[in-house]
Amino acid sequence: MADAPRRIRIAAVGDLHCGVGGAGMFKPLFLRAAERADLLLLCGDLTDFGLPDEARIVAHELAGLKVPILAVLGNHDFESGQQDDVTRILADGGVTVLNGQAEEVLGVGFAGTKGFCGGFGVRALEPWGEGGLKPFLPGALDESLKLGMALSRLRTSHRIAVLHYSPIQETVEGEPPEIFCFLGSSRLEEPLIRYDVTAVFHGHAHRGRRQGETRNKRPVYNVSLPLLRPAPGADADIPIVEINLDQ
């Protein structure tokens, strides 16, 4: 009888937006996910205003989970300018926060960074025109370079990208088209294709689509918590994606 294929079950969620009154709100969600998964990914906007007190609540909600936890920060986690403190608090709580770094966990490579906005395809913003616009655009290029460098360090057969902003338009569709350019950037897609990632996880688009794919047909999962809730205030479960390591 042939051996059963080796698999890893990945739980992923973003956009907790945990405020100072968030104690107790997320623990049941995390516990249910940890019972079903081998690893937990957090795809940014873990806090509401990027405050250390909010980060301490998130760390407390995650305490005691028996699975590895990897995270990236989101735009809300930068709001107060205390993102270094937020990162340190999460790291002290056992969370590996990726900001252009690569990690191998359970035989799978993970590369993560926040990402940035700028739009998609032919409608992506270009560094042209007024001086006030030009400094805005290199953010997506810098984040794309960070993601590519992280992916280049991985020597595993399977590579997973963890982002906050979307690298494709498909998973932001459902949001108002006027704000697509603020929800992600197709410049983030280039390193995903160059290094042929197995899958991509992101958040940020609260009313987008749950799944799309890169141009080379790799799955992209939008795991924003508001998108996962069937109705406002309803319970949600963190989705589990199973990766076959023998493929």
What backbone phi and psi angles, to 5 degrees, belong to 72?
Answer: -125, 160
Distance CA 155, CA 108 (A): 9
> Which candidate, 186, 240, 181, places its Cα nearest to that of 205?
181
Helix (H) or strand (E) run with residue 61 in it? helix 52-62
Beta strands 219-222 and 211-213, pairing class: antiparallel
- Domains belonging to the chain, first-starting first, are 9-244 (3.60.21.10)
Residues 139-189 pLDDT 10s? 888 999 999 999 999 999 999 999 999 999 999 999 999 999 999 999 999
pLDDT (average), residues 121-126: 80
Residues 72-105 pLDDT 10s? 999 999 999 999 999 999 999 999 999 999 999 9
pTM for the whole structure: 0.94
Confidence band (pLDDT; 50, 70, 90) for 232? low
The predicted structure's pLDDT at residue 139: 81
Distance CA 216, CA 197 (A): 10
The predicted structure's pLDDT at residue 1: 44
pLDDT over 50 at 34, yes or no: yes
Confidence band (pLDDT; 50, 70, 90) for 233? low
Q: Are 15 and 226 spatial neighbours (Cβ–Cβ below 8 Å)?
A: yes
pLDDT over 90 at 230, yes or no: no
The predicted structure's pLDDT at residue 147: 98
Amino acid type, 228: L
Residues 102-117 pLDDT 10s? 999 999 999 999 999 9
The predicted structure's pLDDT at residue 137: 75
Q: Which residue has the tokens 């020597």?
A: 155
Q: What is the dihedral of CA 75, 201, 154, 185, to 10 degrees?
A: -60
